[in-house]
Amino acid sequence: MDINKDNKVGESKGALERQLYFIEKCREYIKNITEEIGRPLYACVQTFGCQMNARDSEKLLGILKEIGYQETDKEEEADFVLYNTCTVRENANLRVYGRLGQLRNVKKKNPYMLIAMCGCMMQEPDVVEKIRKSYKFVDVIFGTFNIFQLAELMYNRFTSGSQVIDIWDNTKEVVEELPTSRKYPFKSGVNIMYGCNNFCTYCIVPYVRGREKSREPKEIVREIEKLVSDGVKEVMLLGQNVNSYGKTLDYEFTFAQLLGEIAKIEGLERIRFMTPHPKDLSDELIYAIRDNSKVCNHIHLPLQSGSSRLLKLMNRNYTKEQYLSLVDKIRKEIPDISITTDIIVGFPGETEEDFQDTLDVVRTAKYDSAYTFIYSKRTGTPAAKMENQVPEDIVKDRFNRLLETVSQVSHSHIKRYEGKELDVLVEDVDDHDASYVTGRMTNNILVHFKADRSVIGKVVKVHLDECKGFYYMGTIV
């Protein structure tokens, strides 16, 4: 399959030109204001939720800087505050309303201040209605599908003076070539697809991120080539279920093939991806990870529950046995793979027996770490209507036992690297001691070691002196 052949469904040039036009219009507008008030204008983007939201926020900040705002992380100092919201958990919404209330008072003191909201929470019609009615001081409201339209929506607000609401119900257009402002110059997330068709019964994502849609491989490769020429060494390929990549293209092309194409890019050193679903992780993908040295030896493989009975109620489409045999197959082909996971405790109807199945998988699969969650009832999901919601004290007890088991198993398994010398991509100065830096090995495990900040963004060899549970202390070689 020649990915460079000009296929029908590409990314929309017209939409790109249109947004570049509005970026220009906004730039003029902002320039006049700054001259008028004799100071720069500041923008603050607050990101809630997942890596896809973090990647979207980099694009939003890129547009805001392009039109003339300077970045600040302090809402009270900002002239433009943007909340990129998440709605996976019910209480996330409540927290956002609380913060909006405080922001209202800040806005009263700054006549140049605008407030905008986007992200998954805005894809819920009752939320938008509530903001339209009760939070009239919010100026711009848009969703997850038209992130790229920020400049156009802001220009409408500047020129109309009234609240602008524009929510799309699916990915009508893909515009990925607008300016972005990356948190890390040496690594970047890259969306390879949007939406999810899996409808796990506890999850709101398919209702707010829509149906799966894969980007054209050539557009993805082109974006990564541009990132690499801009200094990026590591990319994180993002999709709710990357295994489904390619299914909406009008020709046969799989995620494993995409990995192969991306691995050909000169100058790119590391490829990561998030998230493969255990129900359809193919042998082809396992071989692609095994055979491409640039593809990192780490797989995040969400389990959610170890009980086949609960997995059925969750609509996860695999059983405990199928999950464990997949882990076996991966470990057989890639012996030094690092596997991490997500686990939910307290799903409706969960019995002690179900929970014991989860602990059994944790002991057998030998994860290097696990994200553990207490089930959160999410209105709008099938699970929220299920009987037998598990009492809080039982859930808390199980959650603590799960944490204990995860750390016991992970700590002993993660120790296997002690004394080795491995490559680390240095990410930042250590939070606790500025004479140390922090970085990640290809297995995604963190290492802290003494070094000058000049190694940030570089891949250096580190001797792993001591395992400290989920991370290592090391010495640069």
Sites of contact with ligand SF4 (CB under 6 A): 196, 198-200, 203, 205-206, 240-241, 277
Task: List all residues 6 or more positions away from 159 whose beta carbon is below 8 Å from its beta carbon.
Answer: none
* Radius of gyration for the alpha carbons in the chain, expressed in angstroms and rounded: 23
CA 351 to chain centre: 32
Q: How far is the CB of 289 from ligand SF4 (least distance, A)?
A: 20
Closer Cβ to ligand SF4, 52 or 227, answer by number: 52
Closer Cβ to ligand SF4, 196 or 339, answer by number: 196
Q: How far is the CB of 351 from ligand SF4 (least distance, A)?
A: 22
Q: How far is the CB of 214 from ligand SF4 (least distance, A)?
A: 15
Smallest CA-to-CA distance from 220 within 149, 271, 293, 169 is with 271
Q: How far is the CB of 195 from ligand SF4 (least distance, A)?
A: 9
Closer Cβ to ligand SF4, 87 or 241, answer by number: 241
Please give the DSSP secondary-structure letter assigned to residue 295: B
Q: E strand or H helix at 325, and its extent?
A: helix 320-333
Q: What angle do CA 125, 311, 384 make, to 5 degrees?
A: 30
In whole angstroms, what is the distance from residue 287 CA to residue 334 CA? Answer: 9
User: Which pair of tokens denotes residue 339?
Assistant: 């596997």
Q: How far is the CB of 383 from ligand SF4 (least distance, A)?
A: 11
Contact 441, 427 (CB under 8 A): no
Q: How far is the CB of 242 from ligand SF4 (least distance, A)?
A: 10
Closer Cβ to ligand SF4, 304 or 438, answer by number: 304
Q: How far is the CB of 197 from ligand SF4 (least distance, A)?
A: 8
Q: How far is the CB of 371 from ligand SF4 (least distance, A)?
A: 12
Segments of 135-186 assigned E as strands: 140-142, 164-166
DSSP string across 337-363: -EEEEEEEE--TT--HHHHHHHHHHHH
Closer Cβ to ligand SF4, 240 or 369, answer by number: 240
Closer Cβ to ligand SF4, 311 or 337, answer by number: 311
In whole angstroms, what is the distance from residue 133 CA to residue 67 CA? Answer: 30
User: Residue holding tokens 């919010």?
Assistant: 138
Closer Cβ to ligand SF4, 240 or 438, answer by number: 240
Closer Cβ to ligand SF4, 240 or 338, answer by number: 240
CB atoms within 10 A of CB 52: 21
Closer Cβ to ligand SF4, 358 or 438, answer by number: 358
Q: How far is the CB of 256 from ligand SF4 (least distance, A)?
A: 19
Closer Cβ to ligand SF4, 62 or 206, answer by number: 206
What is the widest separation between alpha-carbon atoms in the chain? 68
In whole angstroms, what is the distance from residue 264 CA to residue 251 CA? Answer: 21
What string of H, E and C letters represents the secondary structure of 396-436?
A: HHHHHHHHHHHHHHHHHHHHHHCCCEEEEEEEEECCCCCCE
Closer Cβ to ligand SF4, 206 or 260, answer by number: 206
Q: Which long-range contacts (CB under 8 A, 24 or more apart) does 124-128 make?
A: 124/87, 124/207, 124/208, 124/380, 127/87, 127/93, 128/165, 128/167
In whole angstroms, what is the distance from residue 23 CA to residue 180 CA? Answer: 13
Q: How far is the CB of 199 from ligand SF4 (least distance, A)?
A: 6
In whole angstroms, what is the distance from residue 306 CA to residue 317 CA? Answer: 13
Q: How far is the CB of 208 from ligand SF4 (least distance, A)?
A: 10
Q: Which long-range contacts (CB under 8 A, 24 or more apart) does 243-247 make?
A: 243/276, 243/277, 243/279, 243/280, 243/281, 243/282, 243/285, 244/193, 244/197, 244/212, 244/214, 244/277, 244/280, 245/192, 245/193, 245/214, 246/214, 246/217, 247/212, 247/214
Contact 273, 299 (CB under 8 A): no
Q: How far is the CB of 277 from ligand SF4 (least distance, A)?
A: 5
Q: What angle do CA 239, 200, 376 make, to 5 degrees?
A: 100
Closer Cβ to ligand SF4, 260 or 382, answer by number: 382
